[in-house]
Structures are given as C-alpha cells and as structure tokens.
Chain A
Amino acid sequence: MVYVMFTVENITRYFGRFKALDNVSFKVDNGEIVGYVGLNGAGKTTTIRICVGVLRPSSGDVVVDGYSITRQKREASFHIGWVPELPIFELDEKAIDYFVYLAGYYGLSRSEARRLGKELFEQVGLSRFMERRLKHYSLGMKKRFALAVSMINDPRNFFFDEVLNGLDPKGIAFFRDLVKRFKREGRAVLFSSHILSEVENIADKVVFIHKGRIIAVKTMDEIKSMVKPALVVKVSNPDDKLPKILEKYGEVRARDGKYILVFKEKPDKNQIVKELVENGYSVEEIRPARTSLEKVFFKLIGEAGEER
C-alpha cells in the first residue's frame, strides 16, 4: 500500500484582490518524484511556499505526513526539506555557522550540528567551503548549501523550487542522482523547473499549473501516450516533391528548412533515409523530435500553436 506523503488540498491564495492560486489540489506519494510545471507567474513558487509553511493559504491546507501545515506547522516542518528558488540566506554569515544556527531550530546541539554539517557539506560537495561566507558562494554553491540545510532533519518530503536554475551540467547531474536516491529511499519529492527535459528525465508524474489552476496531473506514461511520435528530417536540397515522399510515413509539417514527420506507427528511419537518398536528397539529419513534455504542456494550456 502506498502511503500518501503529502497532499495539497484545495489551496486558494489571494494577494490583495489577485487570485494567485485557485483551488489547487494534488498529492505526492511515498517514493514519488513529481514535477511541477507552469509558465512564469503560474503559481508554482506560491504553491511551494504554502507547502513548506512560509506562506499561509487564503483557504485550503497541505497535509504533510499527516500534519496540517496551517494548524500543526511545527510538527509538519520536521517532515519537510525545502530548497527555495532564490538564495534567501543571511549572506554575511559563514556557511557552517549559519547551518549550525538553522540546525538549532531542530533541537540539535552545536556539536551535533557541526558534525552533521560536515557530513552534509561533504554530500553536497561543499566540504572545502564550510568556513566561507555565503556571500562568496556562487549561485550553484548556494543551491547546494540550501540542499544541505534541507537535509538537516532527514525529512521524508522535499520541495525544490527551480533548483536546477544556475546549476552547471555537473550540478544538474548531481541533483538528478540525489533525487533518484531520494526516490529509492521512499521519500516524496516535488520540484518545479523550467528545464522540462530534466523534468521529463526525472519525474514520475507531472503536475501542470496555469494561471493559478491545476490543469492536469499526468504520469510520465500518460504524457508519453499523449504525444504523437515524430521524426525531424532535414535535407540539404529540399524541393516540392519531398513532402509527398514523406507523407507515406505520416503527417508532414515544414518549418525552418526542417520537416517534422508525425506518425502513428513507428517508421523505419533507415527506410526513410534510403528512399530519400534514392530520390537524390542529401540527408543532413534524421532524429526523433524532442521535448515531448513541452508539447503536452503547451497543448494543455492551449498555447502550443502560438508558441511553436
């Protein structure tokens, strides 16, 4: 039986008269990685801030491991790890000192906190920079620091807000591995990101938010099934006959000198290349079309046509 680690229950949030979130509901299960996707201003950060208890919802609630974030904030926070989008720390402090200070909120003594700090700084690759002031950290280092802080209490639930922003490829890989480890350990992870390809790579499920409303919650399998498979074909000498040749394999769309072939049954790429070459075309590129999640997302928000 899967125990639901946290549920977002009908959250609505107003800023003045502006409704930033409208009846948002979803859940994240034990050992599940959920991507949270939406345009800028859609309400992702507001949702996460409410989930971690730093912002109160106008109505609704978030229940984390059975604790209400609005009514049992202290208890719920013991089960939460949060990496905010921006480095909102006391930047004048030394990293380890600030870590120890924050660890104090979880009841850790100074010595315990320092010992744990060494361990977690090691895990996130900051062990050489413990004594450095946070203002001298790069953005990527700050993210890693926030990650170390989020693990102080060894929580079962993680909330990562645009955690990949500012990370170099090595950092992204590190995060990807870490999240997968969390999944293996049965922890629940909700992360928002603009890098949809990464969401696609990591997430088990994606929650789509648009203008403060949840427009869909889809598993990756559902997303894949929603996307029509396609190939990108590029030749150096296109002409009017080319679309007719490709039409045999599926629906053809042309853009920027490339042809996008949308098909129902997976065609044989070698067969397509062979036929094109036989017809005198010089094939520069043939590959599966990427960003299936983006397609689904834009399709869902009804803007796909305008954006692509």
Chain B
Amino acid sequence: MLVLFIVAGIGLSYLSYSIVSNLAGPVRTLGIIAMDNGNTTVYGVAYDLVGRQLSGAKILFLDKMGRTIYESRVDGLYHLSFKAPINDRIARVRIIYNGKRADEDVLPLNYVNKTYYILYYANPFSLTESDGVLWMPPDNPRTYAVVSLIMLDKSSGEALLQVLSFNTADHRLKPNYELIIGYMKLSSNGPDTTYINASKLPHIVPYKVINISDPYVRYRVKLDPSYNAIVVRVNGSNETLIIRYDRLRPAKGFMIESMLSSSGLQLFLNFFPIVFLYLAYKLISKPKASGALEFILARPVTKWDLYVTRYVSGVLTALVSSAIFVVALDIGFAALWGIAFGAYTSFLLFLAIFLGLVAWYSFCYLLSSGLKSSSGYLALSIVFYLLFAMFWGLITFLVALQIGAGFTGEAWESLSYKLSMLNPIKVSDLIIYYVRLHYGLVTPIQWINPGIVAGAILAWIVVPFILGYLVFKKD
C-alpha cells in the first residue's frame, strides 16, 4: 500500500506540474516598429493572458521568409534599437516565454517623413483579446495608439484596456490626449474590431474619459453586459475604434478551460480511478476471498461496521487525494499566473473530482462485495473501467451517430452530459459543466439543474453502496 501511495503521490505531483506548466502558453506582445533607412526603433510591451507584464521573454523580428532579423530578451515594457537590412521588412513578430510562443499580427502602416511604421498586436486566435489601432488627429507630429481589450472575467464584466502610444516624431515625447470610452450594441454579425473616422459617428453610451499621458497605460474597465461593444474615441476627433466583447472568452475562463481539457487533468481523471479499483480489491475483494475478512469479523464488530469503515477509508482516500490535487493545481496556478481559481471554481473542481472518484469507488465496492472470486472482481472491474474511462467517447460518438445529434455544438454537448449520467467515472462532468458555465465557456443547457446533477451523482454513490451491503451481509 505504501508503495502504491508513493507512486500515486509522485504521479499526482507530476500531473499537477504538467497541467500547470502546459498552461504557460498564453504570452502576448504588442508594439510599434519604426524603420528609418535600416535604423529600427521598437516600442512594445510583453504581457501574459491577463495583461501582466512578463520578464525575460524573448522577442524575435522575422522577415517574410521567417528568417530572424533581430532578437532580444525583453522585460515588460521594452524599447529596442537595432540596425536592420534595408531590404528586409519585418513581416512577423514572435514572442517566446517559458517555451511557449506566439506569432503576433503585423500591420504595416505607411511612410511618415521617410520612416516606415509597423504595428503588431495579439493575433485574433488569442480569443481572449481584441486589438485595434487609432491615429491621433492629423496634427504634426502624428501619434499612433495600439488599443487592446483583454476580457478577464465575463461574469463580472471585468476587463483590461491597454493603450500603447508612439510619437512618430520623437518616441521619447509623452503623449497627451484623452480617450472617451463608451458602450454600444452591435448586431450579432459583423467584425470584432471596427475603425471609424467619419463625421457621422454612432451613438454611444458614455462610460468614462481617460487621459493618456504615458506611452503605455492600462485601465481596468467594467463591461456592461447589456451592450456588446466598447467604443474608444479620441476626444476632439472622429478617430473611433469599436471593439466588440460579446465574442471574447474570459482570460481566466480560457485558462480554466485549458486546464480542464489539458491532458494532465484528463490523465488524472481517467487513470486515478484505477487506484480505487485496486482499493476495493484490497479492502474487500481479496480479504473476502481469502477469508481474512471473516477473521476480522470474529472481533467485536458487525458486518455493517466492517462494510462502512472500509468504505469510509476509500472515501477518505478520495477526499484527501482530490483535495491535495486541487490545492496543488490552485497553488501552481497562483504561483505561475498570479491568479487563484477562486473559492467557487476550486470547490466545484474539488467536488467534481472527489464525487467522481467516490461514485466509481462505490461501483467497485458493489462489485467487490458481490463477487466471491477476487480475480473475477478484477476482471469485471477492469472491463467496466475500460468501458467507462476509455471507450466512453466512442460510445457517445456512436450514440450521436445513431440519433443524429451531430458531433459539435449544443446538441452534442447536451448528449455528452446526458450520457455522462450513466457513467460513474464521468458523472462528475455535470459539476464541471457549472465551472464552464460560470466562465461562459459553455452555452447553458436547459435540462441541467443542480437537482439533476446532485441526484445523478448521489444515485451513483448511494445505490451501489446499499446494494453492495445487501449482498455483503448475505454471506
């Protein structure tokens, strides 16, 4: 047993490490490049998924053939000057951090006083961020501003607005202008970002006015759920940028989703049940077959005592391992990203893992109580394990094929959740649904409600437990 738990402990540590480290992908940068006869000046910022500046990121400027023109280590807000071949235009900007990389979108502007300007910002596949460019009023010298909106938490509407300004005459000059922030409602189709410079501007609901006096500013903004776009307009001009936020996924939720679908967590959820299969074997099946359980029963205990205490020891194992796993994940997240799951997510995640393990353990407990032969138990429980953990996706696929539910979208999601109610290992997906729902990662499914979720999970726990006892006490 000791060896088993050591192995399980090492496995847990490795899994939580791999889950968290695999999430270190979201790295971003945005900035402005000025190229003047080979003399290149870059002004930008390196940040993570939630807009925290990153230290030690590597930035590479590539030509259209993918060759590196220049590379450097940067810390957060950076300013670079280098000599680039005149013929090699920068076609791509790559940022690498902790082994993860992002190739950012490059937007060539035009020549201003013989200087060629290029903007770069997070590519649209980031899903959590939307960017655009604003030109300041055509005064001289001209200022560019890269505006980025990062959705942090969809349920609270918390978001981050980044504005990087660059004076084309002298980048050392501080900007000085005002941005009017407001909301508006867009139709369901249309682009994510719209730039407008016209005399007739759309009506907006004003939110606040912010003064831009530094090259890089970040503002926490609250997105109103009754609208779906934020409007950023330069005060005193028609320069307007409309960024819709209804399609953005929350950064935190995105990370949660990445974590939920990470191979590490799936590995844990799919393989850790083997420990409980073995535990039921060790606690009931094997001693029952060898008679050791009977020898214990000759002590001052009843069958009920024996049945319950051994069941509880399995439940406690599930409780402790789930708690340790979630705490390890939470600490890892907080240490790497500075974001805690929060009590709600942590609790639901813990509940899902814990109750899922208990449901599966109850099922194994029933099998171990009912079968006389311990090898028979092992064979049957492994068959069920393979069915529930390994082949369930295939079963869901076949059922979807049969009933024509499709393999993506709401119908597929709904079917997956319905079928998970028939599976003790997957029944806790119904709790994870609420985590996804909390972050807007899933469209609400009408038939799922807390009563059904609790009923399904409790049924998988209580019914096998009771049936197991009825068989166990019969000798």
Contact = CB atoms under 8 A, between A and B. Distances in A.
B294 A106 contact: no
A106 B475 CA distance: 24
Contacts of A90: 287, 290, 292
Given A73-B302, A74-B302, A54 B297 contact: yes
A279 B465 CA distance: 83
Nearest to A159: B298
Interface string A85-99: 010111100000000
A88 B301 contact: no
Contacts of B200: none
B296 interface: yes
A55 B296 CA distance: 12
A75 interface: yes
Given A55-B475, A90-B287, A77 B292 contact: no
A49 B291 CA distance: 12
Contacts of A56: 473, 475
Contact of A105 (B287, B290, B291, B301): B301
Contact of B295 (A80, A88, A106): A88
A57 B337 CA distance: 64
Contacts of B291: 84, 86, 88
B172 interface: no
B299 interface: yes
Contact of A75 (B287, B298, B300): B300
Contacts of B292: 88-90
Contact of B294 (A54, A74, A75, A91): A54
Interface in B272-301: 287, 290-292, 294-301
Interface string A232-249: 000000000000000000
Given A56-B475, A88-B290, A90-B292, A82 B300 contact: no
Q: Which interface residue of B298, B300, B473, B475 has the most chain A CB atoms within 10 A?
A: B298
B174 to A, nearest CB: 74
A206 interface: no
A102 B296 contact: yes
Given A54-B294, A88-B292, A102-B296, A77 B287 contact: no
B299 A102 contact: yes
B300 A78 contact: yes
A78 B475 CA distance: 22
A77 B306 CA distance: 14
Interface string A59-91: 000000000000001110110101010101111
A52 interface: yes
A77 B301 contact: yes
A54 B300 contact: no
Given A56-B475, A84-B291, A88-B290, A106 B297 contact: no
A53 interface: yes
Interface size class of A (residues with CB under 8 A): 20 to 34
A74 B298 contact: no
Nearest to B302: A73
A187 B475 CA distance: 30
A74 B287 CA distance: 21
A61 to B, nearest CB: 15
A222 B18 CA distance: 80
Contacts of A102: 295-296, 299
A77 B292 CA distance: 17
A130 B396 CA distance: 55
Interface in B197-254: none
A44 to B, nearest CB: 16
Contacts of B475: 55-56
A74 B300 contact: yes
A121 to B, nearest CB: 17
Nearest to B297: A54
Contacts of B299: 77, 102, 105-106
A75 B292 CA distance: 21
Nearest to B299: A105
B302 A80 contact: no
B284 to A, nearest CB: 13
Nearest to A153: B300
Contact of A89 (B295, B305, B473): B295
A105 B171 CA distance: 81
Contacts of A53: 297-298
A52 B300 CA distance: 10
A106 B287 contact: no
Contacts of B297: 53-54
Interface in A111-167: 153
A90 B299 CA distance: 15
Contacts of A77: 298-301
Interface string B436-475: 0000000000000000000000000000000000000101
A83 to B, nearest CB: 10
A52 B292 CA distance: 15
A56 to B, nearest CB: 7
Contacts of B287: 90
A88 B294 contact: yes
Contacts of A74: 300-302, 305
Contacts of B290: 88-91
Contacts of B300: 73-75, 77-78, 105-106, 153
Interface string B304-316: 0100000000000
Contacts of A82: 298
Nearest to B290: A88
A82 B287 CA distance: 18
A215 B301 CA distance: 33
Contact of A80 (B296, B298, B305, B473): B298
A84 B295 contact: yes
A89 B305 CA distance: 19
A114 to B, nearest CB: 18
B369 to A, nearest CB: 16
Contacts of A52: 298
A54 B302 contact: no
Contacts of A84: 291, 294-295, 298
Interface of B: 287, 290-292, 294-302, 305, 473, 475
7 contacts: A54-B294, A73-B301, A74-B300, A74-B301, A77-B299, A91-B290, A102-B296
> Which 9 pairs, one residue from A and one from B, show the smallest C-beta to C-beta distance?
A88-B291, A105-B299, A77-B300, A74-B300, A54-B297, A54-B294, A88-B295, A82-B298, A52-B298
Given A77-B298, A91-B290, 16 more contacts: A53-B298, A54-B294, A54-B297, A73-B300, A73-B301, A74-B305, A77-B299, A77-B300, A78-B300, A82-B298, A84-B298, A88-B292, A90-B287, A102-B296, A105-B299, A106-B299
